[in-house]
Structure 1
Amino acid sequence: MSILVTGGAGFIGGNFVLDWLAQSDETVVNLDALSYAGNLDTLKSLEQDPRHVFVRGDIGDRVLVDALLAEHRPRAVINFAAESHVDRSIHGPGDFIQTNVVGTFNLLESVRGYWGQLTDAERAAFRLLHVSTDEVYGSLSPDDAPFTENHRYQPNSPYSASKAASDHLMRAWHHTYGLPVLTTNCSNNYGPYHFPEKLIPLVILNALAGKPLPIYGDGSQVRDWLYVKDHCSAIRRVLEAGTPGETYNVGGWNEKTNLDVVKTICALLDELAPQADPTRRYAEQIAFVADRPGHDSRYAIDARKLERELGWRPQETFDSGIRKTVAWYLQHQDWVANVSSGAYRDWVNQHYG
């Protein structure tokens, strides 16, 4: 038995692979293109593990994906592969259309061909789980109820539009061809192995380096924060017991403004890695920068369906999860140094000055 994980060297996918093999002996075939956010250092502990089969490649490569499916005959495919950063999508939307829309289409066609050749029992047991985002739902006002699975899609960035398109493709392939698709839409993830262009790792690393801590606008944007290992447990549960054709929202029940998140990180660093000058505080490095175009004001996930139907709830509060995250980055400076390439530094300079 095996599963095929796409995008398994990225942030969420890498954490999923590590957690899966910590709990199961079932082989993971890991397909990742190793673009800017893919990092094999995340999977270094699996280098000699025969249960982990890594293949560098793109989900849009039909020949490669067809060959992997035929060779390994997985019982499930979990699709994490995506371009996923809003700022990058604003400056280079083409890559997002190619990976998230065209790539998803090609993956679906490969999986459909493979699934169609399985025995009746294998077809009934097979699942394709597509990992998506709450950003497809658009933006909420302060008093709006959180997103449910029935919320209208209103994507506001090239990234979220491309993910919305991928969700629609998954839905269509289920309803048209009967492909047993499961879709999850998650809130903002954080935790170990997060590529340091995103808010939380960026703030940790800039604070330690004595650099400004950039916050868009006035920092009042609200996000629901989900610890990545809680997200991984939700995906495992949906894969195990979810109903094909259904969508499940995955959230952390932790709404925080970006400014509050940054201040919390600063307070933890004051405690865990105090500066040489005992009178200085990391919050003094906060710097407000021009807001990005079309910045959504609030995301919030209603994850009650997942709890009601499958019995899942997150285990971490924001306070416990962010403490674990800050401690992890302090303890893994080697990983940070390796992922922080020259290209990454150039990108940060371009966007944050």
Structure 2
Amino acid sequence: MLLITGAAGFIGGNFVHHWFSHHDEPVVVLDKLTYAGNVRTIEPLLAPGRCELVRGDVGDRALVDRLLAEHRPRAILHFAAESHVDRSIHGPDAFIQTNVVGSFNLLEATRAYWGALAPGEAEAFRFLHVSTDEVYGSLAETDPAFSETTPYAPNSPYSASKAASDHLVRAYHHTYGLPTLTTNCSNNYGPYHFPEKLIPLMILNALDGKPLPVYGDGLNVRDWLYVRDHCEAIRQVLARGRVGEVYNVGGKNEIRNIDVVTTICRQLDALRPRASGRYEDLITYVKDRPGHDRRYAIDPSKIEREIGWQPTETFASGVEKTVRWYLDNGAWIDGIRTGAYRQWLETQYGKQAENEQVAA
């Protein structure tokens, strides 16, 4: 079985769905269930002996030790992270605690567990750490895309905390021999995305007739990766990645933020037209955020060459699927907006859910 941290979140939740579309191997999900952890994302998959959800913190060493001893996973997939740049600027403490201290505690527990395995089990074991391209900093317009050898230059508290966790994973492999794998991905989008991020925020604000806020001049560039393509990359790295290696995962879709927003507007114009005017009329330029990185781009040639993975979705095809998903899944969206998705925690654990509720 697999132990997967943070799998009630966006990428982790999509990975669990993707995993069960290819495998019967059971998983245990460890998730703190903060504001962006939504049980409804994986609730249809929860079943004894198939997918078990444990509410808890990766920084809780006793809990992690118990789960490892009880379930004896053949691999740990570490998705759990605080991931929103704006939140990290206004409140970096949670990012240090989860992304740095939490990852350290998980690595320590894993090292002890792995060290006690029988030789064959220890050789087959893997610790896969899911990270971000933001650890590499910002690119100028003509700079080559990030590769696995690009020096780290994080520019936000979020990216700095992820860089620290990446370095810890590297150190635990080189110092202790822990069989690690690391993936650094570009910007993900797709189903089950919490609506504080750009694409779901634009979709839901547009449908509500609210302003579509675009930072600065809107010319910041990101490489967009459809989340299910990312999940397939992780699945293949887990199966065939070389121990101790890093694999950059990109969508080959470098797009300016303003073009992302206008593409969404045109999709909505076609699928759910406004009563009057176009969705683009709602675009509003707002003050840029501090330290806003200008461009990210991923060179995925290593994962293509060594593992054979390539993205299957263009941005046009992926964003159409994403827009349609948000149009077709009003109940999931309403649960986010009303905070009803938090009620599961009260029912399950008999106490009020922690952390703030955030509406789009």
**TM-score when normalising by structure 1:** 0.96
Matched with 1:54 is 53
Q: 1:345 to 1:124 in 2, by over 3 A?
A: closer
1:259-270 mapped onto 2 (5 Å cutoff): 259-270=258-269
Q: How much has 1:171 moved relative to structure 2?
A: 0.3
Unaligned runs of 5+ in 1: 349-353
Matched with 1:296 is 293
State the Cα deviation string for residues 108-154 of structure 1 (Å, max 9, x = none): 00000000010000000000000000000000000000000000000
Q: How much has 1:22 moved relative to structure 2?
A: 1.8
1:268-287 mapped onto 2 (5 Å cutoff): 268-277=267-276, 280-287=277-284
Query: Which residue type is aligned with residue 289 of structure 1?
Result: V
1:47-196 mapped onto 2 (5 Å cutoff): 47-48=46-47, 50-196=49-195
Q: How much has 1:245 moved relative to structure 2?
A: 0.7
Matched with 1:320 is 317
Matched with 2:349 is none
Q: Which secondary structure does the structure 2 equivalent of 1:274 belong to?
A: coil
Q: How much has 1:270 moved relative to structure 2?
A: 0.3
Matched with 1:338 is 335
Matched with 2:350 is none
Give the paired residue count. Answer: 344
Provide the C-alpha distance between the structure 2 equivalents of 1:36 and 1:155, rounded to a whole number of angstroms.
Answer: 25
Query: Which residue type is aligned with residue 192 of structure 1?
Result: P
Provide the C-alpha distance between the structure 2 equivalents of 1:49 and 1:256, rounded to a whole number of angstroms.
Answer: 43
Query: Which residue type is aligned with residue 221 of structure 1?
Result: N
Q: Which secondary structure does the structure 2 equivalent of 1:155 belong to?
A: coil
Unaligned runs of 5+ in 2: 340-355
Provide the C-alpha distance between the structure 2 equivalents of 1:27 and 1:116, rounded to a whole number of angstroms.
Answer: 23
Question: 2:46 touches 2:53 (CA, 8 Å); kept in 1?
Answer: no
Question: 1:196 touches 1:340 (CA, 8 Å); kept in 2?
Answer: no
Provide the C-alpha distance between the structure 1 equivalents of 2:181 and 2:77, rounded to a whole number of angstroms.
Answer: 9
Matched with 1:351 is none
Q: Which secondary structure does the structure 1 equivalent of 2:21 belong to?
A: helix
Provide the C-alpha distance between the structure 2 equivalents of 1:51 and 1:340, rounded to a whole number of angstroms.
Answer: 30
Question: 2:184 touches 2:246 (CA, 8 Å); kept in 1?
Answer: yes
State the Cα deviation string for residues 281-331 of structure 1 (Å, max 9, x = none): 000000011000000000000000000011000011111000000000000
State the Cα deviation string for residues 204-253 of structure 1 (Å, max 9, x = none): 00000010001000100000000000000000000001011100000000
Provide the C-alpha distance between the structure 2 equivalents of 1:250 and 1:224, rounded to a whole number of angstroms.
Answer: 10
Q: How much has 1:341 moved relative to structure 2?
A: 4.2
Q: How much has 1:344 moved relative to structure 2?
A: 4.3
Provide the C-alpha distance between the structure 2 equivalents of 1:78 and 1:161, rounded to a whole number of angstroms.
Answer: 21
- Report % sequence identity: 67
Matched with 2:307 is 310
Q: Which secondary structure does the structure 1 equivalent of 2:168 belong to?
A: helix
